[in-house]
């Protein structure tokens, strides 16, 4: 007889940096979901937030009655998304029980009823499934696919070019579906990693400050023989960019931060070598230049992020960024 997903033991890892209000708003729905499981605990890792944000979190938790299922961990430094989650992974190992999986959940993400149960159900459906991601939706319930193919030089070119017919030759998104589907990677805004994968691969690469670390981890999992799946019936409301200020590869305001370029270069160089990383960067720059030209010829406005091409050329193509993080 098939066991119920609700007999699972689950850990949740949320990394905070100045997002206490978002976390406290989403926490009741998360705790209500975890109460349905055999065991559940939430690790909130504060990455040395400014403006006493960790104190605000602590006060907010106290106002909620200090839920036993929530553990606030204060990191002395802001090591980024990977480092924060690694602290939670280590804390999970000290629990008196072993979790079936650890759910990475962004501060700006709120689980809908049944979402975690569906993620666990998909995780259990095949023994080689190592990571399962949810479908994200906005505040008014408009959902979007959150499953992707691994980055490549041609996908960088096609995406930067912005011509539909070319993009369809090298698609980034997995086709829309309502049933679980295998993919290359899912967004780290809400994804569960099987504990066996964590035991095998170890922690996330802290050389990434923010962005591409979950893509890299899922590539390592794939190379180790694990499968990555998307669970479209597991719906999570995501205020895209509320925690980071970036939506996809576009900042909500101003310029793209340097760490995005550093992470892009690190991903390609680490996994495909320096020559391929430079080739992929050249393809993205070429696609972007051609895309701007065709939009200009068609009388359409230039929607490029200010300074993006120059920073990308310097840090990703020429690799003039500071050395890799330890």
Percent of the chain with pLDDT over 90: 84
- Asked if residue 192 has pLDDT above 80, the reply is yes
- Asked if residue 28 has pLDDT above 90, the reply is yes
| Domain residue extents for the chain | 5-149+184-240, 251-317
pLDDT-derived band of residue 241, with 50, 70 and 90 as boundaries? low
* Among 107, 124, 92, CA closest to 194: 124
The pLDDT value recorded for residue 2 is 62
What is the DSSP code string of 119-144?
Answer: HHHHHHHSTTEEEEEEEEE-TTS-EE
Question: Residue 244, SS3?
Answer: coil
- Strand partners for 259: none
- Give the pLDDT confidence of 249-261 residue by residue, as tens digits: 566 556 889 999 9
- Asked if residue 20 has pLDDT above 60, the reply is yes
The pLDDT value recorded for residue 248 is 55
- Give the pLDDT confidence of 223-240 residue by residue, as tens digits: 999 999 999 999 999 986
Q: How far is the C-alpha of 182 from the C-alpha of 174, rounded, in Å?
A: 9
- Give the pLDDT confidence of 124-159 residue by residue, as tens digits: 999 999 999 999 998 888 887 789 999 999 999 999
CA angle 244, 246, 249 (to 5 degrees): 140
CATH superfamily of 5-149+184-240: Spore Coat Polysaccharide Biosynthesis Protein SpsA; Chain A (3.90.550.10)
Other CB atoms within a 10 A radius of the CB of residue 240 amount to 19
Query: Distance between terminal CA atoms of the chain?
Result: 48
CA distances from 309 to 145, 243, 260, 267 (A): 27, 24, 13, 19
- Mean pLDDT of the chain, nearest integer: 92
pLDDT-derived band of residue 247, with 50, 70 and 90 as boundaries? low
User: Contact at 8 Å (CB) between 16 and 55?
Assistant: no
- Asked if residue 306 has pLDDT above 90, the reply is no
* Count helices and strands in the chain by DSSP H and E runs: 11, 14
Burial class (CB in 10 A: 0-12, 13-18, 19+), 40: buried
* pTM summary value: 0.92
Note every long-range contact of 238-242, with CB atoms under 8 Å and residues 24 or more positions apart, other chains counting: 238/106, 238/108, 238/109, 238/110, 238/136, 238/137, 238/138, 238/189, 238/190, 239/22, 239/108, 239/109, 239/138, 239/139, 240/108, 240/136, 240/138, 241/108, 242/19, 242/22, 242/107, 242/108
User: Contact at 8 Å (CB) between 37 and 9?
Assistant: yes
- Strand partners for 133: 191, 230
* Among 230, 250, 232, CA closest to 240: 250
* Among 275, 166, 163, 155, CA closest to 215: 155
């Amino acid at each position: 007889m098939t066991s119920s997903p609700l007999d699972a033991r689950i850990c949740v890892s949320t990394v905070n940096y100045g997002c206490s209000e978002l976390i406290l708003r989403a926490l009741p729905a998360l705790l209500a979901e975890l109460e349905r499981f055999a065991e559940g605990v939430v690790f909130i890792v504060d990455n040395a937030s400014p403006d006493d944000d960790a104190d605000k979190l602590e006060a907010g938790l106290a106002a909620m009655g200090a839920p036993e299922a929530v553990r606030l961990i204060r990191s002395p430094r802001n090591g980024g998304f990977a480092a924060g989650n690694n602290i939670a992974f280590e804390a999970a190992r000290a629990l008196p029980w072993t979790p079936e999986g650890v759910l990475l959940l962004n501060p700006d993400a709120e689980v809908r009823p049944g979402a975690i149960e569906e993620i666990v159900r998909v995780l259990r459906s095949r023994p080689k499934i190592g990571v399962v991601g949810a479908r994200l939706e906005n505040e008014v319930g408009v959902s979007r696919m959150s499953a992707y193919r691994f980055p490549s030089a041609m996908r960088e070119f096609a995406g930067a070019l912005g011509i539909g017919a070319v993009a369809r030759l090298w698609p980034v998104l997995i086709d829309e579906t309502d049933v679980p589907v295998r993919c290359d990677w899912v967004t780290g805004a809400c994804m569960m990693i099987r504990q066996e994968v964590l035991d095998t691969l170890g922690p996330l690469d802290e050389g990434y400050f923010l962005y591409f670390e979950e893509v890299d981890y899922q590539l390592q999992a794939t190379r180790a023989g694990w499968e990555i799946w998307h669970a479209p019936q597991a719906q999570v409301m995501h205020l895209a960019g509320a925690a980071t200020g970036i939506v996809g590869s576009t900042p909500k305001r101003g310029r793209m931060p340097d760490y995005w370029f550093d992470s892009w270069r690190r991903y390609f160089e680490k996994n495909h070598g320096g020559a391929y990383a430079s080739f992929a960067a050249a393809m993205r720059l070429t696609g972007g230049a051609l895309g701007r030209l065709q939009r200009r010829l068609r009388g359409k406005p230039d929607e490029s992020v200010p300074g993006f091409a120059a920073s990308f050329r310097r840090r990703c193509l020429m690799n003039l960024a500071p050395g890799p993080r330890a």
